[in-house]
Amino acid sequence: MKFRFTGLLFLFILLTTTQATAQKFLMDLVDTTNQMGKGMLSIYERYNRVRISGYIQPQFQVISKEGAESYNGGNFPALSNNRFMLRRGRLRVDYAHLNEHNDPTSYFVFQFDGTERGVAIRDFWGRFYENKSKIFALTTGMFARPFGHEVNLSSANRETPERGRMSQILMKTERDIGVMLTVTSRKNVEWIQKLKFDLGVFNGQGMSGPTDYDSHKDVIGRFSLKPTQIKALGGATLSAAISGYVGGITSQSNVIYTTRLKGTEYIALRDSSSNNYKKATPRNYAGADFQLSFPNTKGETEFRAEYVAGKQTATFASSETPGVYPVTNGLKDPLYTRSFNGAYFYFIQNLGSIEHQLALKYDWYDANAKVSGKQLSAANGFNKADLRYDTFGMGYIYIPNESLKLMFYYEIVRNEKSALPGFETDAPDNVLTCRVQYNF
């Protein structure tokens, strides 16, 4: 499979290089009466609505301890506390088809991600538009889930190296395969045209697994206010949204664990009822977010916040949605349902010009909000997947031009103190990231 992706990527680069050459030669050919000139003109007319873009993110990282676990680019090897890596290498192609009135009729996107670890697809979707009322659009394929703000903010534009722990756990790889209806006006005059509604149906496990492992589909919706200038706030720009996620995993075992109160303590309670087989265990989230930006003489000051809470079903070892159904020694593993909550807060400030930025961020993710502290013990059926983490980040971003961005970002990660081995105190996992990003 990796060979096929690499071959397809090479073929695409070859074709786009040929296309660019054809366009350059076409600029030199005034006479299109010969067969070659006609062919080049045909290529130009066919592909003049194609946009090719991409970026790469080489980086160097140092973490507090060799072999530390991290949500900042993945865990470190057992004998390493620093590394060079190519975090992302993206190549994206957009194609838009317009009708005779220059209204979009369809839109197509595919994007590859290539690093030292291999090549994989990131986006592969198409969208077609309704052009009578210019309100509806339908998207199908593999694309970002319409939930929250951070999940949908491109890694090329973020002021932090990675999305927060909560976003990565709940929406691993951000994308999923499905269909989505978008309802919003393509005009921008009346206030009601500032509203947008997305409603999608997806497989559920996203790109974390090779295929859907049950018939249960997840429904995701987001109702949002597009960026709107608020005169009462001195011309500040506000955007906001509420999001909902209704999904689940079909249990392939008779055993399900939930956190319940037993006496004075919470435990991971085992339920082995035969009714649990093929039972839909919940992945239900509700969230709200806002972004508020104040213009300055040179740049802007921006505040962002998002809160999400709900129920997450995963496994004993992790609160991430499994990409494949968990199996140990040929036997289906039990599922674990936990009540969670989490949030993040950004403060972003330009430093005297648009080229310099300061980014401060705080986020938390409490994987099991019903239990904390010394109640988190192996005797009660819990492990590190039930811990709460608080992360404090600070960074400096320098953007000398539109094709180059430099980032220096330090994260202080704190897990709650518990009775679990290795987590009686804070585990050392603070990390410094130094990144260069090249865009084209």
The predicted-structure confidence for 21-38, as pLDDT tens digits, reads as follows: 333 332 233 333 444 444
Average pLDDT over residues 357-364: 98
Quote the pLDDT of residue 379.
95
- What is the percent of the chain with per-residue pLDDT over 70, rounded to a whole number? 88
Average pLDDT over residues 39-53: 62
How far is residue 184's CA from residue 170's CA, in Å, rounded to a whole number?
27
Q: Does residue 394 surpass a pLDDT of 80?
A: yes
Quote the pLDDT of residue 263.
87
- What is the percent of the chain with per-residue pLDDT over 90, rounded to a whole number? 75
Mind listing the pLDDT tens digit for each residue in 228-245?
999 888 889 999 999 999
Options 3.90.1210.10, 3.60.15.10, 2.40.160.10, 3.40.50.720; CATH for 49-439 is 2.40.160.10
Single out the residue of 335, 327, 315 nearest to residue 385, CA to CA: 315
Mind listing the pLDDT tens digit for each residue in 114-156?
999 899 989 999 999 999 988 999 999 999 999 999 999 999 9
Quote the pLDDT of residue 211.
86
How far is residue 121's CA from residue 93's CA, in Å, rounded to a whole number?
12
Quote the pLDDT of residue 50.
86
Lowest mean pLDDT among 1-10, 92-101, 122-131, 154-163: 1-10
- pLDDT band with cut points at 50, 70 and 90 for residue 48: low
Task: Give the contacts of 282 (CB within 8 A, at least 6 positions apart).
Answer: 247, 248, 311, 313, 337
**What's the chain's average pLDDT?**
88
Alpha-carbon torsion 408, 414, 76, 206, what sign?
negative
* 157 half-sphere exposure, CB direction, 13 A CA radius: 6
DSSP 425: S
- Contact (Cβ atoms closer than 8 angstroms) between residue 320 and residue 338: no
Average pLDDT over residues 182-202: 86
How far is residue 182's CA from residue 204's CA, in Å, rounded to a whole number?
19
Taking residue 193's Cβ as centre, other Cβ atoms within 10 Å add up to 14
Lowest mean pLDDT among 141-150, 184-193, 265-274, 422-431: 184-193
pTM: 0.87
Mind listing the pLDDT tens digit for each residue in 300-334?
999 999 999 999 999 999 999 999 999 999 999 99
Q: Does residue 157 surpass a pLDDT of 50?
A: yes
Task: Give the contacts of 109 (CB within 8 A, at least 6 positions apart).
Answer: 92, 93, 94, 95, 123, 124, 125, 126, 143
Q: Does residue 106 surpass a pLDDT of 50?
A: yes
- pLDDT band with cut points at 50, 70 and 90 for residue 189: low
Helix, coil or strand: residue 316: coil
How far is residue 117's CA from residue 87's CA, in Å, rounded to a whole number?
10
Average pLDDT over residues 61-72: 97
Amino acid at 294: F
Q: Would you state the torsion angle of the CA atoms of residues 271, 253, 319, 291, taken in this order, to the nearest 10 degrees?
A: -100
How far is residue 194's CA from residue 224's CA, in Å, rounded to a whole number?
8
Q: Does residue 205 surpass a pLDDT of 50?
A: yes
Quote the pLDDT of residue 47.
57
Comparison of pLDDT for 191 and 38, the residue scoring more = 191
Quote the pLDDT of residue 41.
44
Domain boundaries, the chain: 1-48, 49-439
Quote the pLDDT of residue 51.
87
Q: Does residue 16 surpass a pLDDT of 80?
A: no
How far is residue 433's CA from residue 409's CA, in Å, rounded to a whole number?
5
Quote the pLDDT of residue 415.
97
